[in-house]
Amino acid sequence: MVCPGTIISGGEVRRSILSPGVRVHSGALVEGSVIQHGVDVGRHAVVRNAIIDKNVRIPEGAEIGLDLDLDRERFVVSEGGVVVIGKGQKVE
């Protein structure tokens, strides 16, 4: 489900919910995720099985939800393997 005001500019979105003001740049993939208002998914980034709160910027080439051990060092990961990134949190 993609809300009005979302821009998917050459990226791909599968089985996800994108709030208004979300931008998915070229070559990026968002799959099985809930993305809140104002999130920017950089070029060639991958976001899989994640909940991302407002105003988070996913940088170019970042990988979220692919290596859960690495994700646990940076974010909250549920027992079921869902990565949660809080409001305004910095992603590197």
Residues contacting residue 70 through CB under 8 Å, at least 6 positions apart? none
- The whole model's pTM is what? 0.94
- Beta-bridge partner residues of 7: 23
Residues contacting residue 67 through CB under 8 Å, at least 6 positions apart? none
What does the pLDDT read at residue 13?
97
Using CA atoms, how far apart are residues 5 and 60, in angstroms rounded to an integer?
A: 21
What does the pLDDT read at residue 5?
87
Per-residue pLDDT of the chain (92 residues; tens, 9 = 90+): 777 889 999 999 999 999 999 999 999 999 999 999 999 999 999 999 999 999 999 999 999 999 999 999 999 999 999 999 999 898 98
Residues contacting residue 92 through CB under 8 Å, at least 6 positions apart? 59, 62, 74
